[in-house]
Amino acid sequence: MECITRTKDGAEVLVEYCSGALNAARAAEIEKHIAACGACRTIVEAQRELWQALDGWTAPAVSEDFDARLYARIAREESAPSWKQWARRLLQPAIPVAIWKPAVSLAAVCAVLTVGLMVRTPDPSEQGSQTYIHEIHSEPVDIEQVANALDDLEMLTPGSAM
């Protein structure tokens, strides 16, 4: 078997092996290879030692009043005026805004294009319908304008960066 580290995704497979994420057949294959390959064995041993070091980092116990503080916050929110509750839901959604990005970006593009068409569309009564259709089809999309609109929208959207 060719050294795993020379294959595509090779070292990633070794990490998966160390974390027990491989099925039994694949794990057995890796074990057989490791027994014969010094380079891979070194990586596996180093990974296991790393995990031992990480195991030594225990997080402190959660404060005893954590739940009480949480319920107090919930109670305060529940008793807040309804407009405040709606504003909070709007500005602090449970699902991060990043998941809405494609829809937001698409909406922004549509909005910019619509505004662009409306602004540049001449008065049909003055120039005639043929000219009107010609201008719409020949109006180029200002890519920089679209990009700027998307940037502006992203700046306005809270917590959009991840």
SS3 content of the chain, % helix, strand, coil (to 5): 75, 0, 25
Judged by CB under 8 A, which stretch of 58-66, 104-112, 119-127, 141-149 contacts other proteins? Answer: 58-66
- Please identify, using beta-carbon distances, which residue of 59 and 119 lies nearer to other proteins: 59
d(CA 39, CA 10): 12
Q: Which is nearer to other proteins, 15 or 133 (CB)?
A: 15
Reading the block at residue 88, the tokens are 């909070």
Q: Whole-number minimum distance, CB 117 to other proteins, in Å?
A: 33
Pick the piece of the chain touching other proteins (CB under 8 A) from 14-22, 114-122, 133-141, 143-151.
14-22
Nearer to other proteins, 40 or 112 (CB): 40
Q: CA-CA distance, 151 to 143, in Å (whole number)? A: 12
The yes or no reply on residue 24 touching other proteins (CB under 8 A) is yes
DSSP string for residues in 1-43: ---GGGSTTHHHHHHHHHTT-S-HHHHHHHHHHHHH-HHHHHH
Which residues, 6 or more positions from 75, have their beta carbon under 8 angstroms from its beta carbon? none
Residues in the site for other proteins, rule: CB under 8 A?
Answer: 9, 11-12, 15-22, 24, 27, 31, 43-44, 46-51, 53-60, 62-63, 66-67, 69-70, 73-74, 77, 88-89, 92-96, 98-99, 159, 161-162
